[in-house]
């Protein structure tokens, strides 16, 4: 890619990364063996790490991906498994020029399997501390709620004493909303977001990736979100796009994910040029890099290959991402 070295050096913040989506087939097989987890022999994709990786290359939809994503997690049992997973991601991120990472995890996907919240959290926290120490990356953790589960389950997770403790201590900085979007509109979760706002938590939600542009409007109105995860459908509504641009709300786009999961036919079909012209702020992210086989720099390069942006445009994308981060102003100035 032209500008490849420039893009690699460009200071990056990543805001849309599911830690469970950083589980490589190699680590999955290793942990399955160590933890005595049997892989589904009826699915030939699980014959070897290579065959699993090639199956990952043929996702047909978000739900097809989520099937493998939720199965993959079943190998994560102990705190050091979660640490190994997150450490794997931070090393890739650092190599790609990430200075600050705000990463999601899905508490319910683990607690429903009998793995305690504090086990998950302590593993991830160890990896975050190591990333800060050894790689100079600053990090924030964000708990996501699984929107395909009953709202009461999500609320009970939010109110769980260990989860609340992690918010109070600052170990977890904010909340998000993920999993299947269609059929699970944002307003269902308004009580959680209202409580989170009162507690001073940062708030984001997946909206307008798979679902329609109305989900973006209602996530802004009924959830009071401060960022929009994916948000590519925003370009379908010029008025809302102008409003989002004027407010300066950051979209956390994931170009390769959108193509792999079938939200758009190709990168060229993404509204990158429209967002730039309308002054919509966005960052570029990897979503579930191990499943899509590509990390954040690949996403930057794929945008460059399709849109041929200039150095100034890249500078403003980089700045928007750093300014839209949830770290302190001092840290933002350091990175810029």
* Contact status, residue 86 vs residue 127, Cβ threshold 8 Å: yes
Q: What is the separation of C-alpha 45 from the centre of its chain, rounded to a whole number of angstroms?
A: 25
Residue 83 vs residues 19, 259, 311: alpha-carbon distances, Å = 10, 29, 36
The nearer residue to ligand HPA, 207 or 322, going by C-beta atoms, is 207
**In terms of residues, how long is the chain?**
336
The nearer residue to ligand HPA, 90 or 291, going by C-beta atoms, is 291
Q: How many CA atoms lie within 13 A of 302 on its CB side?
A: 22
Question: Which of Zn ion, ligand HPA, none lies near 125, with the C-beta cut-off 5 to 8 A by kind?
Answer: none
From the list 34-42, 95-103, 281-289, 319-327, the region that binds Zn ion by CB under 5 A is 281-289
Q: Which helix (H) or strand (E) holds 298?
A: helix 296-307
Minimum CB–partner distance for residue 261 and ligand HPA (Å): 6
- How many residues belong to the site for Zn ion (CB under 5 A)? 1
Q: Is 140 in the site for Zn ion (CB under 5 A)?
A: no
From the list 121-129, 159-167, 194-202, 287-295, the region that binds Zn ion by CB under 5 A is 287-295
Residue facing Zn ion at closest CB distance: 287
Minimum CB–partner distance for residue 307 and Zn ion (Å): 22
Minimum CB–partner distance for residue 19 and ligand HPA (Å): 10
The residue among 192, 249, 209, 156 whose CA lies nearest residue 18 is 209
The nearer residue to Zn ion, 212 or 315, going by C-beta atoms, is 212
CA distance 253 to 285: 6
Minimum CB–partner distance for residue 20 and ligand HPA (Å): 7
The residue among 60, 129, 69, 51 whose CA lies nearest residue 105 is 69
The nearer residue to ligand HPA, 257 or 325, going by C-beta atoms, is 257
Minimum CB–partner distance for residue 219 and ligand HPA (Å): 14
Residue facing ligand HPA at closest CB distance: 178
Binding Zn ion (rule: CB under 5 A), the pick from 287, 302, 318, 335 is 287
Q: Is 181 in the site for Zn ion (CB under 5 A)?
A: no
Minimum CB–partner distance for residue 255 and Zn ion (Å): 12
CA distance 219 to 228: 8
235 φ, ψ to 5°? -65, -10
Our CA dihedral for 145, 147, 149, 155, rounded to 10 degrees, sits at 50
The nearer residue to ligand HPA, 259 or 322, going by C-beta atoms, is 259
CA distance 179 to 160: 20
| Interacting residues toward Zn ion by CB under 5 A | 287
């Amino acid at each position: 890619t032209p500008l490849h070295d420039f893009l690699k050096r460009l200071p990056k913040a990543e805001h849309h990364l599911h830690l469970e989506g950083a589980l490589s087939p190699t680590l999955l097989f290793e942990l399955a063996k160590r933890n005595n987890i049997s892989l589904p022999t009826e699915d030939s994709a699980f014959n070897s790490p290579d065959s699993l990786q090639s199956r990952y290359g043929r996702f047909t939809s978000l739900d097809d991906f989520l099937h493998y994503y939720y199965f993959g997690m079943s190998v994560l049992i102990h705190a050091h498994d979660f640490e190994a997973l997150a450490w794997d991601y931070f090393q890739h991120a650092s190599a790609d020029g990430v200075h600050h990472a705000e990463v999601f995890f899905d508490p319910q996907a683990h607690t429903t399997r009998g793995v305690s919240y504090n086990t998950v959290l302590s593993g991830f926290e160890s990896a975050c501390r190591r990333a800060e120490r050894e790689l100079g990356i600053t990090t924030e953790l964000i708990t996501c709620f699984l929107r395909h589960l009953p709202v009461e389950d999500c609320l009970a997770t939010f109110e769980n004493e260990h989860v609340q403790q992690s918010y109070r201590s600052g170990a977890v900085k904010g909340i998000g909303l993920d999993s299947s979007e269609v059929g699970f509109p944002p307003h269902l979760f308004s009580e959680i977001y209202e409580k989170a706002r009162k507690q001073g938590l940062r708030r984001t939600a997946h909206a307008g990736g798979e679902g329609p542009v109305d989900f973006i409007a209602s996530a802004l109105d009924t959830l009071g979100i401060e960022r929009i995860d994916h948000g590519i459908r925003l370009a379908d509504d010029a008025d809302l796009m102008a409003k989002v641009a004027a407010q300066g709300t950051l979209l956390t786009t994931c170009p390769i994910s959108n193509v792999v999961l079938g939200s758009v036919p190709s990168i060229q079909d993404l509204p990158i040029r429209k967002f730039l012209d309308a002054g919509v702020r966005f960052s570029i992210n990897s979503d579930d890099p191990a499943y899509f086989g590509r990390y954040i720099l690949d996403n930057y390069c794929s945008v460059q290959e399709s849109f041929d942006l200039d150095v100034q445009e890249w500078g403003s994308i980089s700045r928007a991402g750093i300014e839209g981060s949830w770290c302190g102003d001092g840290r933002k100035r350091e990175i810029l």
